[in-house]
Amino acid sequence: MKDFIAIGDCTADELRELLHLSVQGKQIDKLGGRDKSLPGKTLAMIFEKASLRTRMSFQIAMTDLGGHAVYLKPEDVGIIGDREPAKDMARVLARYVHGIMARTYKHETLIELAKYADVPVINALSDWSHPCQAMADILTMYEHCGDLEGRKIAYIGDGNNVARSLAFACAKFKIKIAIASPRGYELDQRSLDMCNDLMPETAVQLNDGFEAAKDADIIYTDTWVSMGQENEKAERVDDFKKGNFQVNSELLSYAPPRAKVMHCLPAYRGMEITDEVAESDRSVIFDQAENRLHFQRALLKKLLFQNPKAKRR
């Protein structure tokens, strides 16, 4: 693994190794230990979009590993390609740092950064994929459900980048996923086909949240209006409110009592999830948020320490 751009690019063995490193690193962290694998290493963090969890988890992970992170806020970089071509930015930053993490609007920007940078590039979110979030989700599911193979996630919400990455992760870890979205907001058929090609009968698209919740080990949701979709807010909220797409007590009654609730945050209480459910003992939302840190640390160690693309200064 030279870069981390999309779950579908990785083998199941590579993802299992990252999961194992995350579990191991979290155990060391809880015991007060520190793995200083990256002394003198620097990570450039490019943000076209603002973020709380992504910035904090990557920056703290680099500090924990003995390295350093440089935050390039939206005002510094603008939209990559408008202010400066991605291929130029990639080659300039690669002369300064040992790795590049980027949170971009367009997935193509990540692909171009990875093509031209001779240091590892990490996708911290694009319109196509959110692979770091998906792996933190898998770590959380592993902690709360144990063995992953044969488990089921009910994803209730927009068929967006989060749903897509989660579906690919499910295919790699042999988990089933039922995605329930209003008509017009489904995950694209190509992504569903690709997941089911990786593992038959992994992903199914539904238009009823109650049906998706049946037999689920995890009930997962995300915002109905992502960053950059603000001008669609009224229409989106109206469309999602028409069906069974809010994670509330009634929807949970269709799921087994063992089912846990996940949300990648930020959560809009009273919209895609109720406050009652988010604060209930079935919610593992904040374990999930914490696991962003443990996964990022494992990923950085793997990419910047054990990667042939990593610089040896």
**Active-site residue flag, 222:** yes
Q: Is 131 known to sit in a ligand binding site?
A: yes
Angle between helices 131-145 and 285-305 in degrees, nearest 10? 120
Query: Out of 3, 217, 222, 239, which one is annotated catalytic?
Result: 222
| CB-CB contact of 156 with 245 (8 Å) | yes
Q: Is 132 known to sit in a ligand binding site?
A: yes
- C-alpha 312 chain-centroid distance: 29
**Active-site residue flag, 147:** no
Query: Out of 264, 288, 294, 297, which one is annotated catalytic?
Result: 264
Query: Out of 59, 133, 246, 296, which one is annotated catalytic?
Result: 133
Query: Out of 164, 236, 263, 292, which one is annotated catalytic?
Result: 292
**Active-site residue flag, 144:** no
The enclosing H or E element of 162 equals helix 161-173
**Active-site residue flag, 190:** no
Query: Out of 103, 151, 263, 297, which one is annotated catalytic?
Result: 103
Q: Is 130 known to sit in a ligand binding site?
A: yes
Q: Is 83 known to sit in a ligand binding site?
A: no
Q: Is 227 known to sit in a ligand binding site?
A: yes
**Active-site residue flag, 282:** no
Backbone angles phi, psi at 261, to 5 degrees: -110, 130
Which residue type occupies 293? L
How many CB atoms are closer than 10 A to CB 131?
Answer: 29
Q: Is 264 known to sit in a ligand binding site?
A: yes
Q: Is 265 known to sit in a ligand binding site?
A: yes
HSE-up of 50 (CA within 13 Å, CB side)?
Answer: 5
Query: Out of 53, 130, 294, 297, which one is annotated catalytic?
Result: 130
**Active-site residue flag, 292:** yes
Edge-to-edge order in the sheet of strand 121-123: 68-72, 42-47, 99-103, 121-123
Q: Is 103 known to sit in a ligand binding site?
A: yes
Q: Is 222 known to sit in a ligand binding site?
A: yes
- The span from the CA of 69 to the CA of 55, in Å, is 10
Which parts are annotated binding residues for carbamoyl phosphate? 103, 130-133, 264-265, 292
Which parts are annotated binding residues for L-ornithine? 161, 222, 226-227
Which parts are annotated binding residues? 103, 130-133, 161, 222, 226-227, 264-265, 292
Q: Would you please indicate which residues are annotated as catalytic (active-site) residues?
A: 103, 130, 133, 222, 264, 292
